[in-house]
């Protein structure tokens, strides 16, 4: 079960290396490099091929319905990488997807099917807003910290409800998290028309955050804020937690086989609660980051389904937090591109859902192929 150190593995595969013995790296070094290159290739080729296949099928769908498929995809790609601003928008969109996706990697590794990230995002956004519009006069850095902490805590709390119901009442978390989604969204609707409503405006929205409290932007004039850096940093933390710590190991064992975990003396309920709370905290943080980095106030529809999309982000990354960084960016690029595709080619933007669905199917298809070919070696 335990992961071997890279060095050991590379020794084992030394035979693969077709290295120049006189190279400055030395034979072992080269073998290691090659090993890592092969590993990286093995990890990245299937998802890329899967995405390409999904795009191909989408292109066929476009062509069948009379749209110029090649033009459409040219628009998507060139649009997304057209200039600094359009690329920065991709990262802006990727921020909540990565945050939530990373959290879901932890839950899914524990075989906890948290379908409620959307609701946890809303819970986080509500708490962040409540903190953001009160405590006037705090130092800005402290206030921002509180806003983010409140979001994470509220998300963790919202998810923990489902976790506790699962542990104590055997209530399926798939069902309870879905129900909690509805409740959080309806609660937001109530709050922005009632207690949290901006007293100065007629619209259903909270008061706007003071400029001092906004998450700092690091690439002006784009609106890219430090949320993306937080997301990437937390992805690394989550990776280390899952794959390099004994606590993360316990979470994974519970996910693979709870009975075995119990025999091994692992506290199964504690790990279930931990995993779902982490995923909730990340989703809640995503809500807080959206509020404090993008919208600066709470609305009824603060998320266009980031919580659901992030499920696909985690799955595409094979529940690896580092992979979620890239799949998050990919899904954000698809969404950004789909908006441009509509502006410039009048293709209904909802096509992005079809592409996302196809990407997931295609990824699991490739994963199955890999399993089939790997089977004899097992």
Rounded CA-CA distance 189/123 in Å is: 12
Among 2, 5, 18, 83, binds other proteins (CB under 8 A): 83
Q: How far is Cα 152 from Cα 160, in angstroms, rounded to an integer?
A: 12
Please choose, from the candidates 237, 223, 262, the residue with its C-alpha nearest in 3D space to the C-alpha of residue 99.
237
What would the DSSP string read from start to end of 318-366? TT-HHHHHHHHHHHHHHHHHHHHHHHHH---TTHHHHHHHHHHHHHHHH
CB-based contacts of 40-44 (< 8 A; 24+ apart in sequence) = 43/323
Least separation, in Å, of the C-beta of 125 and other proteins? 11
CB of 89 to other proteins, least distance (A): 5
For position 308 contacting other proteins by CB under 8 A, the verdict is: yes
Least distance between other proteins and beta carbon 71 (Å): 5
Site string for other proteins, 17-56 (x = CB under 8 A): ----------------------------------------
> Is 279 within 8 Å of 159 (Cβ atoms)?
yes
When binding is defined by CB under 8 A, the residue of 311, 322, 329, 334 that contacts other proteins is 311
Span interacting with other proteins, options 83-91, 137-145, 262-270, 274-282, rule CB under 8 A: 83-91
Question: Which residues, in sequence order, are CB contacts of 268 under 8 Å at separation 6+?
Answer: 254, 258, 261, 262
Binders of other proteins in range 243-302 (CB under 8 A) = 290, 294-297, 299-302
Residue closer to other proteins (CB basis): 34 or 300: 300
85 binds other proteins (CB under 8 A): yes
Q: Which of 65, 245, 257, 267 binds other proteins (CB under 8 A)?
A: 65
Report how many helices (DSSP H) and strands (DSSP E) the chain contains, helices first: 14, 0
316-375 residues near other proteins, rule: CB under 8 A: 336, 339-340, 342-346, 348-358, 360-361, 364-365, 367-368, 371
Does the protein bind other proteins through residue 376 (CB under 8 A)?
no
**Closest distance between other proteins and the C-beta of residue 8, in Å?**
30
The percent of the chain in helix, strand and coil, each rounded to the nearest 5, is 75, 0, 25
Tell me the C-alpha distance between 348 and 49, whole Å: 25
Name which of 325, 149, 294 is nearest 226 in CA terms.
294
Q: How far apart are CA 281 and CA 309, in angstroms?
A: 17
Between 138 and 174, name the residue whose CB sits nearer to other proteins.
174
Question: 318: which 2 tokens?
Answer: 């094979």
Give me the least distance between CB of 112 and other proteins, in Å please.
11
71 binds other proteins (CB under 8 A): yes
In this structure, what token pair is assigned to residue 57?
A: 């099928």
- Whichever of 8 and 343 has its CB closer to other proteins, that residue is 343
CA distance 110 to 105: 9
Tokens representing residue 208 in the block = 């706007």
Tokens coding 279: 């995923």
- Per-residue x/- track, 97-116, other proteins (CB under 8 A): ----------------x-x-
Q: Which of residues 205-234 bind other proteins (CB under 8 A)?
A: 205, 208, 221, 223
Q: Is 89 in the site for other proteins (CB under 8 A)?
A: yes
- Residues 166-205 touching other proteins, rule: CB under 8 A, are 169-172, 174-176, 178-180, 182-183, 186-187, 189-190, 193-194, 202-205
Q: Which is nearer to other proteins, 31 or 147 (CB)?
A: 147
Nearest to 143 by CA among 210, 93, 85, 87: 210
Binding of residue 132 to other proteins (CB under 8 A): no
- Least distance (Å) between residue 53 CB and other proteins: 13
Indicate the residue among 157 and 353 with the shorter CB distance to other proteins.
Answer: 353
Q: Are 178 and 116 in contact (CB under 8 A)?
A: yes
Structure-block tokens of residue 104: 């879901």
């Amino acid at each position: 079960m335990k992961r071997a150190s890279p060095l050991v593995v590379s020794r084992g595969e030394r035979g693969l290396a077709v290295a120049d013995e006189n190279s400055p790296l030395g034979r072992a070094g080269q073998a290691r490099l090659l090993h890592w290159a092969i590993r990286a290739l093995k990890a990245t080729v299937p998802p890329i091929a899967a995405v390409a296949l999904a795009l191909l099928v989408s292109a066929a769908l476009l062509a069948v319905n009379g749209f110029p498929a090649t033009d459409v995809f040219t628009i998507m790609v060139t649009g997304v990488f057209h200039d600094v601003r359009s690329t920065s928008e991709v990262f802006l969109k990727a921020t909540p997807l990565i945050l939530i996706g990373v959290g879901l990697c932890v839950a899914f590794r524990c075989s906890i099917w948290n379908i409620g990230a959307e609701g946890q995002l809303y819970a986080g956004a509500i708490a962040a807003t409540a903190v953001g519009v009160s405590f006037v006069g705090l130092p800005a850095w402290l206030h921002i910290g509180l806003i983010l902490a409140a979001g994470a805590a509220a998300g963790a709390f919202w998810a923990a409800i489902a976790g506790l119901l699962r542990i104590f009442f055997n209530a399926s978390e798939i069902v309870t998290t879905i129900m909690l989604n509805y409740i959080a969204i309806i609660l937001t609707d109530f709050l922005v028309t009632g207690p949290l409503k901006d007293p100065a405006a007629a619209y259903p929205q909270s008061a706007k955050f003071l400029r001092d409290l906004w998450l700092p932007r690091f690439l002006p004039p784009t609106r890219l804020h430090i949320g993306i850096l937080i997301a990437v940093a937390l992805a690394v933390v989550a990776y280390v937690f899952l794959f390099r710590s004994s606590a993360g190991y316990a979470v994974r064992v519970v996910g693979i086989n709870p009975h075995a975990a119990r025999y091994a003396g692992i506290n199964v309920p504690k790990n279930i609660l931990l995993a779902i709370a982490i995923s909730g905290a990340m989703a809640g943080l995503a809500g807080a980051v959206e509020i404090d980095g993008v919208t600066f106030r709470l609305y009824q529809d603060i998320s266009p389904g980031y919580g659901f999309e992030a499920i696909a982000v985690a799955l595409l990354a094979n529940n690896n937090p580092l992979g979620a960084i890239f799949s998050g960016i990919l899904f954000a690029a698809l969404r950004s591109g789909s908006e441009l595709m509509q502006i410039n080619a009048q293709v209904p933007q909802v096509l992005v859902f079809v592409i996302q669905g196809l990407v997931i199917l295609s990824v699991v298809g490739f994963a199955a192929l890999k399993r089939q070919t790997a089977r004899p070696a097992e």
